[in-house]
């Protein structure tokens, strides 16, 4: 069974540009989570999508946004990139709310975003 | 808001020995879920073990076990018979049982080195 897949693996952008990161969840999972892992800051929760709806977002500015498609894959968009957006962006998936909240999240390999 | 603290930024252990990684958390909730994740240099976050707070019995997965002390809000990870493949960053994580709050809150991690 395929795990969570993310693309691309690495991106280099400059300040002010926009970027889109992609995530495909494990088959059968309807929830997708996005986390930012910046150097020295640990993992910070960004966004959670379930059944196509945004369910919760972390303490990030509105230029971080995303969406979930009918096939449960997801995109994370970051506009007006800043130097501090350089980080590893991790996507995770799990069974949805109806399956109970003890469902673990399974992570992808991440996308390394570097801002020059 | 919940917080998770890992007070050991780095730990090392001789191969085949036992090591314990510490984690404490702060919450006002009576029921919740706790996880340990491992992140090797390949950067994928791998679920190691999980514990439901309502269960008094400590979780065990092969060489990995936890010491869950609910009153003390402590959740340590014990790795027995350490192997070279155990070298990684280890993250402790908390998850609320409440719908709409399924995000993981992570500690800052402990880097584990295995000495041959």
**CA of A41: how far to CAs of A8, A10, B71, in Å?**
22, 20, 28
> A residues 48-77 near B, CB within 8 Å?
48, 55-56, 58
| Mean pLDDT in consecutive groups of 10 residues from the start of chain B, 116 residues | 92 97 94 94 89 91 96 97 96 86 89 96
Tell if the CB–CB gap between A101 and B103 is shorter than 8 Å: no
> Rounded to a whole number, what is the distance in Å from the CA of B52 to chain A's nearest CA?
8
Tokens of B50: 């999980």
pLDDT at site B56: 85
Compute the distance between CA of residue B73 and CA of residue A43 in angstroms, rounded to an integer. 21
Whether residue A98 has pLDDT greater than 70: no
CB nearest B103 (choices: A56, A90, A108)? A56
Identify how many contiguous H helices and E strands chain A contains and give both numbers.
Answer: 0, 11
Tell if the CB–CB gap between A102 and B45 is shorter than 8 Å: no
The average confidence (pLDDT) of chain A is 92
Tokens of B115: 């000495």
Read off φ and ψ for residue B36, nearest 5 degrees. Answer: -115, 130
Whether residue A90 has pLDDT greater than 80: yes
């Amino acid at each position: 069974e395929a795990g969570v897949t993310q693309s691309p693996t690495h991106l280099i952008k400059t300040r002010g540009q926009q970027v889109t990161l992609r995530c495909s969840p494990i088959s059968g999972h309807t929830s997708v989570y996005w986390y930012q892992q910046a150097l020295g800051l640990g993992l910070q929760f960004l966004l959670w999508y379930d059944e196509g709806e945004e369910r919760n977002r972390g303490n990030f500015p509105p230029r971080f946004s995303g969406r979930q498609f009918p096939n449960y894959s997801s995109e994370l968009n970051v506009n007006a990139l800043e130097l501090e957006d350089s980080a590893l962006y991790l996507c995770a998936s799990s069974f949805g709310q109806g399956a109970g909240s003890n469902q673990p999240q399974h992570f992808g390999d991440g996308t390394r975003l570097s801002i020059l | 808001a919940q917080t998770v603290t890992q007070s050991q930024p780095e730990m090392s252990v001789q191969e085949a020995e036992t090591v314990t990684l510490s984690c404490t958390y702060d919450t006002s909730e009576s029921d919740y879920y706790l996880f340990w994740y491992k992140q090797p240099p390949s950067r994928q976050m791998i679920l190691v073990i999980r514990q439901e707070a309502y269960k008094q019995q400590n979780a065990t997965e092969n060489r990995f076990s936890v010491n869950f002390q609910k009153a003390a809000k402590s959740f340590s990870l014990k790795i027995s018979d350490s192997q070279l493949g155990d070298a990684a960053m280890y993250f402790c994580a908390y998850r609320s049982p409440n719908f709409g709050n399924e995000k993981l809150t992570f500690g800052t991690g402990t880097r584990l080195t295995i000495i041959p």
